[in-house]
Amino acid sequence: MKTLLLLLAVGCAVAQSHAQSSELYRSWNQPQEPFRVVGNVYYVGPSGIGAYLIDTEDGLILLDGAFEESVPIILNNIETLGFDAANIKLLITSHAHLDHVGGIAALKELTGATLLVNARDVKLMEAGGRGDFALGDAYTFPSVIVDSSLADGARVRLGSSVLTAHLTAGHTEGCTTWTMQVSEGDRELDVVFACSLSILDDVRLINEPSYPGIADDYRHSFDELNALPCDVFLTGHSFFFNLEDKLKQRAAGVDENPFVECDSFRKFVSDAEEAFDGRLKAEKAQTRPDGGDR
């Protein structure tokens, strides 16, 4: 695996892509020391893009693959934690956008893992992001063949670990929030890996909607997320769950695991719902009484 890591690092260093042409994307793709979050869940992504390793007695599960250029970071982080990436059996995803699944094709090829994706994101994954309802062909990534599509509510099991897929669509048509229970000491904790809820700039919700039913999808997503039990909140962007602050607390030797909290999750959902209501109101204000746009 070290040889493969070196080859990947060299290859990615010379690659020119959308991800690394953006100053913002570069800032998200900085090395991040990996760590155990809670139970058998580990953070293995770069600084600004979450990728999560779940250790089971029957192998490893990896949730998301960040950018294509993030693959060396993820592999190095897995190795640093004492795991072997060759033991990754399952790859699962939150949603089919460049910054979360750009590395999936390379990770699948390297590990031979089975790739599971929500049915509504399969086409976008296999098209490498081309034809995205919000982004068009602007932010493509290496296409990858999906081994199995998942329905809403699907359960993925490896060893004694079970993850449940919740369709929380809107950001993409197949945006998936994953939940699982982990043991931490004598406690059983509910972990929520939330999918993105933001509304991209060119998306339309009701006036010639970007895809049929998008507004209803967002409403369903808020309802679904608000109903979830939560003790630990993780998501595709580390700043949403205050990664830096929590690591500082941990380094300071606080008695309780700072990742065991869900106020940040409730705020994440509430802020997104407020933004959705604002966009909906703005679109309605642009609509003439006869149903056309002003």
Question: Residues 81-87: what's their mean pLDDT?
Answer: 97
Question: What is the Cα–Cα distance from 44 to 53, expressed in whole angstroms?
Answer: 7
- By CB atoms closer than 10 A (0-12, 13-18, 19+), residue 170 is buried
The pTM assigned to this predicted structure is: 0.91
What pLDDT is recorded for position 139?
94
Question: What is the Cα–Cα distance from 207 to 186, expressed in whole angstroms?
Answer: 51
What pLDDT is recorded for position 7?
41
Residue 14, pLDDT > 60, answer: no
What pLDDT is recorded for position 11?
43
Question: What is the Cα–Cα distance from 143 to 66, expressed in whole angstroms?
Answer: 14
CB 90 within 8 A of CB 97: no
Question: Residues 220-248: what's their mean pLDDT?
Answer: 96
More confident residue, 288 or 294: 288
Question: Residues 27-41: what's their mean pLDDT?
Answer: 95
CB 50 within 8 A of CB 246: no
Residue 293, pLDDT > 60, answer: no
More confident residue, 2 or 246: 246
3-state secondary structure of 204: coil
Helix axes 263-285, 214-226, angle to 10 degrees: 160
Question: Residues 73-102: what's their mean pLDDT?
Answer: 97
Which residue type occupies 84? D
CB 169 within 8 A of CB 220: yes
Residue 75, pLDDT > 50, answer: yes
Helix (H), strand (E) at residue 80: helix 71-80
What pLDDT is recorded for position 240?
94
Task: For the chain, report the end-to-end CA distance as a whole number of angstroms.
Answer: 59
- By CB atoms closer than 10 A (0-12, 13-18, 19+), residue 144 is buried
What pLDDT is recorded for position 292?
53
Question: What is the Cα–Cα distance from 9 to 109, expressed in whole angstroms?
Answer: 15
Mean pLDDT over the full length of the chain: 91
Question: Residues 156-180: what's their mean pLDDT?
Answer: 98
Contacts of 14 (CB under 8 A, 6+ apart): none
Token couple for 96: 């089919």
Question: Residues 33-37: what's their mean pLDDT?
Answer: 97
More confident residue, 3 or 241: 241
Question: What is the Cα–Cα distance from 227 to 240, expressed in whole angstroms?
Answer: 19
Residue 242, pLDDT > 50, answer: yes
Which residue type occupies 269? V
How would you list the strands of the sheet with 176-184, edge to edge?
Answer: 155-158, 161-167, 176-184, 187-194, 232-235
Token couple for 134: 């919000």
How would you list the strands of the sheet with 59-63, edge to edge?
Answer: 35-38, 41-43, 52-56, 59-63, 88-92, 114-118, 148-150
The predicted-structure confidence for 257-291, as pLDDT tens digits, reads as follows 999 999 999 999 999 999 999 999 999 998 655 55
Residue 3, pLDDT > 70, answer: no
Residue 10, pLDDT > 70, answer: no
The predicted-structure confidence for 122-148, as pLDDT tens digits, reads as follows 999 999 999 999 999 999 999 999 999
What pLDDT is recorded for position 49?
96
Question: Residues 173-181: what's their mean pLDDT?
Answer: 98
Question: What is the Cα–Cα distance from 226 to 269, expressed in whole angstroms?
Answer: 7
Q: What angle do CA 155, 157, 161 make, to 5 degrees?
A: 110
Sign of CA dihedral 244, 161, 191, 155: positive
